[in-house]
Structure formats: C-alpha cells, structure tokens
Structure 1
Amino acid sequence: MSDRMQDQPMVVMSEDSQRVKDKDAQDHNINAARAVADAVRSTLGPKGMDKMLVTDTGDVTITNDGVTTLQEMDIDNPTAEMIIEVAETQEDEAGDGTTTAVAIAGELLNNAEDLLDQDVHPTAITKGFQRASEMAREEIDDIARSVDPSDEDLLRQVAETSMTGKGAELNKEALAALVVNAVQQVTVDGTVDLDHINIESQTGRTASDSELLTGGVIDDDPVHESMPASVDDAHVLLLDEAIEIEETEADTDVSVTDPDQLQSFLDQEEQQLKEKVQQITETGANVVFCQNGIDDMAQHYLAKEGILAVESVKQSDMSFLTDVVGAPIVADLASASEADLGGGSVSRNTTDDLFYVEGDNAHAVTLLLRGSTDHVVDELERGITDALDVVAQTVSDGRAVAGGSAIEIEVARRLRDSAESVSGREQLAVEAFADALELVPRVLAGNAGLDSIDTLVELRSAHEAGETHAGLDVESGEVTNTFESGVVEPAHIKEQAVSSATEAANLILQIDDIISAGDLSTDKGGDEAGGSGAGGMGGMGGMGGAM
C-alpha cells in the first residue's frame, strides 16, 4: 500500500450521515435529558403547577401528572425519550413518583456534567452512581416502617398523600376512604389484584358524590322500553354474538317477482330471530349483556319473554363483568347453556341512567367517579389511579416512609457519611448522587413559594440532630415530623425512583458517540449540525409546541 493511500482517511459512512463525538455528544445528551426533567419539575409536590397539553387536533389535557405530561409532549429526540422511559418504568413498577424519578435523573446528569468538566471519567461516575443507588435503596429499607395491611388510618394517609396536589385533592379524605375500601375488597391473602377494580366516570356532579359499588356499572339503556329495569335474581348471559339476521359470506342478488316470495323471506328472517331468542330463554337467562347489536324484532321478542337486554356493551366492560357475575363470555349462542350463566342482581339507577350489576360472592368493585366537567373527571381519574397503585403497593410491600422530602434528606445525609469509605473518584460521584437527591426538597419548597436554600438548610439541620422523619410541610412552610402529620409514602416508590433514575443517567453517560444516517438535528428549520459539533442537535422536535 502506498504512503499516499495510508495518509487518506477511510470513509465508511454515507455523505448524508452525521456524527457527534466525545464531549460534544455528552453535552448534547445531558442537555436533552435535562430539558425533559426541567419541563415537569414545576409539577412536583402539593403546590406543583399544572400543564395544559394541546394536540394537533385541538384536544386539551390539563394535568400535573408527570407520566401523562411526558407522554403527551411531542418529543423527537432519542435521548429525551430515554428519560420518558424512566417515567413509564416508574409508573409501571410503582404507580406513582414519576416526576420525582425524572427530576432526579435530570439532576444526576447535571451533577455528572460538573464532574466531567473536572476530568472525571464517565466510567468512574457511573460506577459511583450505581454504588450510591444500591446504598440509597438499603438506607430506604432501613428507614422504612412496617405497615399492617389492616391499618386503615395509615393506608388512608398514603392515599391522601398521593392525591394531594392533584385533581382529587379537594375531596381527598372521602376519596381516600373509597380507595382504601376498594383495595381491601380485592385483597386476598395479602395479594392485591387491581384488575378487579373498575373505574367509571360521570360528569355533571361534584367529586364528593363519587361512590364505591360492589360489582360493575354499565352506562347504557335497555334495548326495549318494555323490558324490566331491575332484576333481583339475575341469571346473566354475557354474549359476544349479534342477535341479528345472519348475513351470507358472499353478496347475493335475489330477484323477487311475487309478493308472496317477499313475505316468505321476511318470515324466514323472523324465524331466525325467534330461534335465537328461544336459545336464550332455554338457557334460563333473564339478563343479556351483548357486545354486539340486537335486531329490533329480537328486542321485541326478548321484551315479551321478560328478559332485560343491553346491546353494544364495551369489550372492557364485558371482561370486567366476567369477574362480577362469574360467567364466561359466550361467542356461540347455539352452544350456550345454563352453565354459562352468572348470578347476581341488576338494578337501574334512573338518576344517572346506569345499570348497577352485583355478583354473588364477587370480589370485583367499581369506583364511580363524578366531576363537573370532562377535564375535571379525567384529572380526578388519574389521581385516583395513582392512589390505588400506592395503596396496593403499601399493602403488598408492607413498608412506608415519611413524605415531604424527609426520606431524600435522610438518605442524602447517610450517603455523604458513607462516601468517605469509597475510594478514588467514585467518592465524588457518591457525593454528587447525594446532592441530586436534595433536588426534591429544593423543588418542593420552590413550587410552594418558599426559599429553597433556607428550607434545605433547616431540613439538613433537623436530620443532623437525629430527626429522621423531618420533612417539609408545604402548607405552613415549616419543617415537621411528616410521618406523624400523615404525609406518608410507600417505600417501594422511593426505591424504584432511585433505581430508574440511576439506570437512565448511567445509560446516557456511557454514550460518547452519536451516529445518524441523516440529519442529526430534529429541528429542521434550525442550523445544520456540524460534523463534530452539537449545534443542530438541540432540537426537542415539537416539544415546545406541546408545552
């Protein structure tokens, strides 16, 4: 090979490909992740602000729920999407704490950037963060208190803490009682099955009118006005087959030359419907919930038999009714029998135009949430869903910690004390991890209109004095024992937030090269990305528009 060929760089990427390396890649990734974290930080805590999210079609969502905000934002950046995965993982594994997890991840990267500027290698930072994460989870477990699953007062405090600052806050005491009752009814031998809890919503009334029903709710009308409105001793058939004239697979044209021929066709169709209704009556069913349609003629015959029928029931409602009445969904009416029927009672609430379906010995329950408008009900449902998750977590896990950032301050203090035992530059990462945890009290204070620095100093002083459960009361602005004052959170949520945030931060810090097959910039109208610079990569896509 000639010297001239050796001097020429080998080109392995297409002309359209772009690449960002080393410090520029790290800066880009950190900035993108921090932008996402900053976007939801103002929603944290009881005094957090709401976000109005407007889609391209004009649909409006008003919420301060972290995962909802991030999912609705129009983000077009691979690094930012990693942070969104933190929220989604937190939601799936713990049910709440999404904003906390994302905020900690952003702060970990922010502190990591300072260490990178001090020439600390990314490997040392990630090892230190991972070690600090393990230590933090151990400390959380050590600090946590055991919870008796039958302790309704503490479980209500957990539910109220989760709902505070959300759409359910104004009626949190009454709603918390419903949440705890619902969880206890679907708990068997210490195992909580939230699939047995259904949430239905109605507008036009206040949240204080919400109620817990043993069984299911069907928001529909009887198919015929002559049908009974209520059936006390119900034999329920859940049907996934239309009670209509069966259509042929192929389109067929029929020429009718005689009125008698037309009448014959009509008689045949009527006979088909009679046979379907007869099949239902032979099973002994007196209530039919049908996922498909019911022909007008069939409605008439069902009413004559005294059978209550509802058509076009949602698939999700049908699935829930299988647990309520203890019956399978029948796909073939011809094979239906008495063994396919469920038992219970069906009653009509004429005020709300709802059917209440209660089953014999069923554990399934329905939370009927009410609110003045669709936006109110939607946010109320998000708050109740989080509350159900955290109460279920507390019952299953059996541990709780003081809220109001008490746990973060105490863990940060213990990490700093333990950092001295960590050798090398990893010690700096452990200390940076402790600093990141203290973002939570700083943001809580700032969102409540308090001085973040003064609050942090006061909290640190209380914990140095041995007050393990000292946290911020955002209502009074004072530092107090939040466990005793009823601000309680599941320990698992805190552990999961630390774990998710650490994994995401470490994943991002380990990237030192970004290669794209096309333009690296997600902002097509901005400056073009240079071959080694991150200038064109700062775009968060349509994120700004969604905010």
Structure 2
Amino acid sequence: MTSKQMNPDGEERYATITNNASAIRAICSAVESTLGPKGLDTMLVGPQGDVIITNDGVTILEKMDVTHPAARLLIQVARAQQEQVGDGTTTATVLAGALLNEGVAQVVKGVPAAKVVRGIEQAAALAVESLKRRAIAVEGLDDPLLQRTAYIAGREHGDIARLVIEAAHIAGTDRLRDPAYCFADAVTAHEKAGNEVWPGLLLHKKPMNMQMEIDLEETPVLVLQDALEPDPVDEEALATEAGFRQYMEHKEQFRSNLRKLAELGIGFIAADRGVHQEAEQFFSDLGVMVLQRVSKADLQLICEHTGARPIKRIALHKPKQELQGYFGLAKKVSYDDKLSRIRLIGGTDRPMVTMIVGASTQEVVGERARIAKDAASAVQAAVRGGYLPGGGAVEIAVARELERYRDTVKDMEAFGVEAVIQALRKPLAQIVLNAGFNPLEKVEQAKAAQLVQDTDRVGIDCDTGNLMDCLEAGIVDPALVKVHALKAAAEVAGAILRIHTVIKMRSMAEL
C-alpha cells in the first residue's frame, strides 16, 4: 500500500524523462535487429504503397514517420554519424539508446540527473581515448584487413567490396585522407550496368546534341558559370533604334565569341545555365559536346578533374591567348547511351574515380548503392584512423577498463560511469541476440576470456557461438566509426537526460 501511494508522485516527477526514454526505446527497436552478420532487414512502407527493404540504419531512421521530439534528437545522431563518417549509424543509435536507458534507470533510483550526465561525459571521454589508443593503422591499400573492412561494411557482398578496394587504389591514400573528399560520393548504381570502376567522372547529364556520336580525346574544356547566349538588352531599349542596334551588336559579338572558341579547338563546354539555340547548332556542326544547366557540384568536379577555371560570359570577350588560359583538358569524353551518362577522364594529376554498381532491377538499385556507400565510407575511415577488432569485442575491453576507473570515483558520477559500461556491452549483446544466442551468457564468456588473455580481440562467432579472435577472423571496424558513434551517443543521452519539462511553443502566427 505504501508503494501504491508513492508511485503516483514518482511517476509525475519522472514523467518527462520516462516518456522520452520510451520514445527512444521504440526507435532503437526498429534498428537493433539489423545489427551484426545475422541482422535482418526492415521493410519501410510509404503512404502511396512504395516499399523500401533495407538494414541500413540511417535509411530506416530517416524514412520513419517520427513526431516525438526526443526521438527526433536520436535521428539527428544517426544523421550526424552519416555526415561525419558515412557508416556506423546503427551502432550510434544502439549505443545512444543503451546509454539513455541506463541513465534513466539511475535517475529513477534517485541519482541526480546532473551527476549521471557528468559521469557519462567523463566515462565517454575516457572510452574515446581508449579506442583511439587501441586503433591499428592501415598498412597501405593492400592491407588484407582493409579489404575485410570493405567486406563487412558492405554486408558481405564480395563483389562490392572488391569494387570499392579497386576504386580506392585509383583514388590513392592521399586523396582518401583528405577531409574534404567523400569517397562514398563516387558511388552510383544503375539497373542496366555491371560492376565497374571508371577512372574519371560519370555525369548524370545528356548532351544537347544527342543526335551526334561524340567520342572526344585530348580536348580542351570550358566551364561557364553563366548562360551561353548573347549579352542581354533591356526590353524597353529594344523599342528604340539605339537599343535594337545594341542588340545586333551583342549578337554579332556573341557569334564572334563562338568562332573564337572554335578556333581554339574547344571540344567540351559545360554551362550552369541555358545555351542559346544558335550556339547549340554551331557547336553541333563542329562535333563539340555541350552541356547546359549543370549543377554547381558537377561543375566544381569538372574543374578539379580537368584543370579548367570557371568563367562568366563576359570573359568570352577576352583575347584568344588570355581566354585559353581558362581552359581545362579532358583526356576522354563520351556519352554512354546505355547508362544515359557522360563519361569524362580529366587531364590533371588530381585523380577521380566512379564506382558503378550493377543491379538486377530498379527495386534493388537503391539498396545496392547504400551498401556500396557504406563500404566506401568504412574504407576511407579506416585509412584515415585505422581499424579495431569488430563484433563488439573492443567495446567489452573498454568497458573493463572503465570498471577499474569507476572504482576510483567516489562521488555519484560513478552511476554515470556505470551507464557507459553497460552501454558498451550492448553492441556485442545485440549481435549475439540477433544470431540466436543468449546475450548474457556470451557477453560474460567474452569478458572472462579477454580478462584471462589480456586482449581486446576476443569476440563471439555468430555461426557457432564459440569464442574467436576477431582480428584473426578478419572481423574489424574502422576506429573513427566507433569513436564518433560513442561521442554522438553520449551527447544525445546527456541532452535528453537533462530535459525536465517539455513545453509546446506557440506558432509564429500567434506571436
């Protein structure tokens, strides 16, 4: 009877935090079953009956119809993980959910939320440093464990893993280590294609002169950040004799510029706006490939790959020698009618690569592309930050390290440290659960074996349930993926644990 009298007060006191935790648990349950080699797929059904079948964490989370504000915070964690390293969204979500569950359990017991959050922050920082310290550097692009990284992140699709590694060799180590370069952006999938690594750009555009067979080699390239048309004249001015004369002068100047480009041997023109029909016909007669309304991102790639310097329309008035200084060089330009894409190989020493992933039907194109992007992101992350034993093994080792630290914490922050310890055991527990084994038993087995052998490499074989050396078995994950996942999980768990009250804001119309 005493407990019945106290429960309403307790429920009211912790209503917000338990409500948020329930929403987080609901979100986590949608992606937990996809973790590990025995993870299953999720079917997403749209309002018009469209269907996506995937086990990609960020896809599941972004496509879900979510209204709860705390749940949306968790989705932002997955999005941040995807933007930063391109892989590990499921791990980040699982860790965040486990951290929050453990933290809420401590708060409901009476531990101040601020103390729990502080302990989580301290423990997470120590865990991140431990992960970085344990990271093993990649020994070149031929490192067998780098290939295993691609294979595991590519959900054991061997053809995609081989494609990604081949493309990595073309991109080169320096390119992969460049923070501004996103290797996953080089992936494209097409149901009419076979797997292929193209050592250049594949532009999703059609040339204006489609009726021509264009296959150019060693040709100058012009990138125009403007429309390829005569200089404009105000409509009001056209009604006057002087305005009409100016219009005719502009048109003649435009024709002169076209002839100038032809005399300079231009073979490929890409403009970010429209192209005048006179220019289209003029260059069609000369066999020059012209693209109009090209995206700024593609124009930037063309400039980078060919060495072209983008210009405005007014720059076409420059003398030949000066104008020629803005040209780039393409070793090869052609139109692939089967893929409806422009193939371009630049003439600079700045390598570009495109991974073309084949698919049997339109329905599986998107999933094949997501798999290849995950594999590419994992390879780039491993090159940049090394790799760690996978399968949840290294997290168990870090949790053991935090246990020793927790024993030295005399304040109530120890409860927050304990939350991180329990959360770090969650990935292995979920992986073995998805494989059909008892997670409590297997986690303790792995923990005991690591303690006896003083290693962070012992995990669980999901086929047999036996202990195994993850590095010997080639079960590895990029260190950056694990580091960022833990950081993001700790941040969102701390943010949600601090929320005491939720208030709906007035709309802008009411202010």
State the TM bucket, normalised to the shorter chain. 0.7 to 0.9
Cα separation, 2, equivalents of 1:116 and 1:441: 25
**Does 1:404 pair with 2:391?**
yes
* CA shift for structure 1 position 252: 9.4
CA drift at 1:280: 2.5
| Cα distance change on mapping 1:353 and 1:458 into 2, 3 Å | same
Partner of 1:174: 162
Q: Mark the CA change 1:447 to 1:228 in structure 2 (over 3 Å): closer, same or farther.
A: same
TM-aligned CA distance change 1:185 to 1:463, over 3 Å = closer
C-alpha root-mean-square deviation of aligned residues, in Å?
Answer: 3.2
- Shift in Å, 1:282: 4.2
Give the match's secondary structure for 1:327. Answer: coil
1:196, 1:323 within 8 Å by CA — same for their partners in 2? Answer: no
- Which one of 285, 290, 295 corresponds to residue 309 of structure 1? 290
Within 5 Å, which residues of 2 pair with 1:470-509? 470-509=458-497
How far is the alpha carbon of 1:301 from its aligned partner? 1.9
Say whether residues 1:288 and 2:269 are aligned partners.
Answer: yes
C-alpha distance in 2, partners of 1:196/1:493?
Answer: 15
Partner residue, 2:447: 460
- CA contact under 8 A between 1:198 and 1:320: conserved in structure 2? no
Q: What does residue 181 of structure 2 align with?
A: 194
The aligned residue for residue 404 of structure 2 is 417
Q: Which structure shows the bigger proportion of residues in helix conformation?
A: 2
Match of 2:382 in 1: 394
Task: Establish whether residue 366 from structure 1 lines up as the match of residue 357 from structure 2.
Answer: no
Change (3 A) 1:495 1:219: closer
Q: 1:150 Cα deviation (Å)?
A: 4.6
Aligned counterparts of 1:118 and 1:441: Cα–Cα separation in 2: 26
Aligned pair 1:345/2:331, yes or no?
Answer: yes
For residue 538 of structure 1, what is the aligned residue in structure 2? none
Q: Is residue 196–residue 364 contact of structure 1 (8 Å, CA) maintained in 2?
A: no
Answer yes or no: is the 8 Å Cα contact 2:183–2:376 preserved in 1: no
Aligned equivalent of 1:89: 80
Equivalent positions of 1:96-495 (< 5 A) are 96-164=87-155, 169=157, 171-184=159-172, 187=175, 191=178, 193-195=180-182, 198-199=185-186, 201-205=188-192, 209-224=194-209, 227=212, 229-244=214-229, 249-250=234-235, 274-332=255-313, 334-335=316-317, 337-348=323-334, 349=336, 351-360=338-347, 361-397=349-385, 399-466=386-453, 467-495=455-483
**What SS does structure 2 have at the residue aligned with 1:357?**
strand
Distance 2:287 2:14 in 1: 77
Q: CA deviation at 1:70?
A: 1.7
Per-residue deviation, residues 132-163 of structure 1 (Å, max 9, x unmatched): 21221232233332333455323222222211
CA distance in 1, matches of 2:399, 2:211: 68
Whether 2:14 is the aligned partner of 1:23: answer: yes
Deviation at 1:99, TM superposition (A): 1.3
Who is 1:539 aligned against?
none
Q: What's the TM-score, normalizing by structure 2?
A: 0.84
Other structure's SS at 2:44 match:
strand
Mapped to 1, the partners of 2:431 and 2:236 lie a distance apart of: 66
Report the counterpart of residue 3 of structure 2 in structure 1. none
Q: Structure 2 stretches of 5 or more lacking a match?
A: 1-10, 240-244
- Summarize the Cα distance change of 1:241–1:471 in structure 2 as closer, same or farther, 3 Å threshold: same
- SS for the counterpart of 2:442 is helix
1:359: Cα distance to partner? 1.4
Identity of aligned residues (%): 27
CA distance in 1, matches of 2:99, 2:189: 42
Q: Deviations over 1:260-290 (max 9, x none)?
A: xxxx9x9999867644522422443122223
Give 1:449 shift. Answer: 2.8
Go from structure 1 to structure 2 and tell me whether the alpha carbon gap of 1:242 and 1:518 turns closer, same or farther (over 3 Å shift). closer
Corresponding residue of 1:257:
none
Could you tell me which runs of 5 or more consecutive residues in structure 1 were left unpaired when the two chains were aligned: 1-19, 255-263, 520-547
- Counterpart contact for 1:215–1:362, Cα < 8 Å: no
Tell me if structure 2 keeps the 8 A contact 1:183–1:392: no
Scaled by the length of structure 1, what TM-score is found?
0.79
Q: Residues 196 and 39 from structure 1, CA distance in 2 versus in 1: closer, same or farther, beyond 3 angstroms?
A: closer
What residue identity is the alignment partner of 1:309? Answer: V
Change beyond 3 A, Cα 1:176–1:25: same
Deviates more, 1:470-479 or 1:482-491: 470-479
- Return the alpha-carbon distance in structure 2 between the equivalents of residues 252 and 53 of structure 1: 58
Corresponding residue of 2:41: 50
SS at the partner of 2:34? Answer: coil
Aligned residues: 485
Contact 1:186–1:194 (CA<8 Å) still a contact in 2?
Answer: no
Q: Cα distance, 1:33 vs. partner?
A: 2.2
Q: Tell me which residue corresponds to 1:261.
A: none
Tell me which moved more, 284-293 or 95-104.
Answer: 284-293
CA distance in 2, matches of 1:241, 1:158: 43
Name the SS of the counterpart of 2:14 in structure 1.
helix
Give the 3 Å change call, closer, same or farther, for CA 515–480 of structure 1 in structure 2. Answer: same
